[in-house]
Copies of this chain bind each other. A is one copy, B any other.
Amino acid sequence: MISKATLKFVHSLKQKKFRLQNKAFVAEGNKLVPELLNSRIRLRSIFATEEGLREYRALLPQSGAEIVSVSKSEMQRLSFLKSPRDLLAVCEIPEESNALPESGRWSFYLDDIRDPGNLGTIVRTADWFGITRIFCSADTAELYNPKVVQASMGSIARVGLVRTPFGEIPDTVPRYAAMMKGMPFSDLGKCPPGLIVIGNEGRGISADIAAQCRAFTIPGRGGAESLNAAVAAGIVMAFLQNPC
C-alpha cells in the first residue's frame, strides 16, 4: 500500500520547483531503473510491482534504496508514463561538478536547448561517444525533467550537465559555433580543440555568444531550413572522434 502523501510526493516531482526543493527526480522502466543502480545516481526509493520484485530480486537489495512493493493499479497511479512498467525509482539529483571547459580538449556547450526530447537525445549521443560532461546555459532544459530522463535511455547515469554562464568560460578556450554559415565542420579537425556551441532549436545561437565564436557549418544542399539540434551535435561528435 502506498500512502496519499507518497503519491503526492512522487507526482510533485513532475515539477522543476519540487525537484530542486527535494533534490530528487523520477526514473521509470525495467531497463532504466536497473541501469541507474551502481551508477553515479543514488536511488532513494524503488517502487516495484510483484513482477518487478521477482525479475530484479538479485539486483534490488544491492541498491541501498527503500524497496516498496506496489500493486499494478498503484503503479498506474504513481507512473508518469502512459504504459507504466514494473519499476519506478525516486532518485537523488547528484551534485554536478563546477568544472569549466578547458583548452586543448573538445567539449560541448548547449545554448538554450529547451526541448526535453532533444536534450535527452544529445545526452544519449554524448554517452555513446564517451563524453561525460556537457556544458549549458541557464535556460537549457533540466537533465532531471522526466522527459529528458526517459529520452536519455539511461545515459544520465554517465553524463552530467553543467550549467555555466558563457561569460565564465576562460578566455583561453577556443570557441566554435554551429551556424548557418561558416567554415565546413570538417575544418574543425585543423583547429585547436575547444568548445563547440550548439544553439536553440528555433532561434539558433544567441547573438552575444555567436559574436565570441568562430562559426562553422554542416554543409547542406537541400531545402530544409536547419538541422535538428541533436542531429547537428551528433554529426560533430562523430566527426571529432573519427576525424579525417
Contacts and interface: CB of A to CB of B under 8 A. Distances in A.
A219 B235 contact: no
Given A230-B228, A231-B121, A235-B238, A222 B186 contact: no
B231 A218 contact: no
A130 B222 contact: yes
A27 interface: no
Contacts of A218: 128, 238
The copy count of this chain in the complex is: 2
Interface size class for chain A?
35 or more
Interface stretch (A56-64, A74-82, A86-94, A152-160): A152-160
A234 B223 contact: no
Given A231-B231, A231-B234, A154 B242 contact: no
Interface of A: 117, 121, 124-132, 153-155, 157-158, 184-186, 218-228, 230-232, 234-235, 238-239, 241-242, 244
